[in-house]
Amino acid sequence: MFYWVMKRIFLGPILKLLFRPWVKGLDNVPESGAAILASNHLSFSDSIFLPLMVHRPVIFLAKSEYFTGKGLKGRLTALFFRLSNQLPMDRSGGAASETSLQAGKDVLNSGGLLGIYPEGTRSPDARLYRGKVGVAKLALQTRVPVVPVAMIGTEKVQPIGKRLPNIRRIGLIFGQPLDFSRYYGMEDDRLIQRAVTDEIMYELMRLSGQEYVDEYAAVVKAQLAGKGPEPVHKIEVAEDATADIAEDRDEPRSDGNGPAEKL
């Protein structure tokens, strides 16, 4: 109820009036049945504008820390995420991540729309980065189509670290649904997972017009922060744990204390 009231009555009409979003290919989103909406990720506001323009509810997987905050701010954050169709994703790896991934499967198995950012985190410089294979695993295991979604201009509305948005027009392009039925039964093959993921990223590059970087965005962010590159084996383990599916957000810390996280 909260989701629909905010989308249709309160927040939605105001956002449409201020930002005047333009949309192409919305009819590529199935009117019924399960599908994955795989989007590039430029801004925190992507998770607002994408479900706003889709007629059906869109459920995202968000990192579990947003659901376990302490204090008033932490509890309010957790409440907001639950009421706005977000599901917690444990990114610590192993059994915890597999259990969280099941929540995404449940959404798809029940015929819903699941929103995923294959890059795993927002682009640090508006370029498109290498996708992680969690989206491929979900698509192949649940045997649902993947609709590529290109967000246009949202990085100018709300750059990383900026609290108040800039009022300017943004766009969304929904591509043709991608069918990976030729790979069904091979979902555990690492090469197949990579092939599916790369095909999704190619479509996002084509739709968005972004420059593609064959590198993980998380690695580039770590380098920019002066932390040095992540070891390759660590990145691969993170992929296997499906920790890449949950969205990273530039939000206040979940405990309600301290400055915003720089992700």
Q: Domain of 100: which CATH number? A: 3.40.1130.10
For the segment 82-113, what is each residue's pLDDT rounded down to a tens digit? 777 778 776 556 666 676 678 899 999 999 99
Q: CB neighbours (10 Å) of residue 109?
A: 14
Q: Hey, which residues does 61 pair with through a beta bridge?
A: 87
Which pTM value belongs to this model? 0.83
* Domain extent for 112: 1-225
Q: Is 32 left (phi over 0), alpha (psi -120 to 50) or beta?
A: beta
Residue 260 lies in a domain: no
Residue 237 lies in a domain: no
For the segment 29-43, what is each residue's pLDDT rounded down to a tens digit? 999 999 999 999 999
Residue 255 lies in a domain: no
Question: Among 254, 64, 208, 11, which residue's Cα sits nearest to residue 3?
Answer: 11
Q: Please tell me the total count of domains within the chain.
A: 1
Residue 241 lies in a domain: no
Tokens at residue 176, please?
Answer: 């043709």
Residue 256 lies in a domain: no
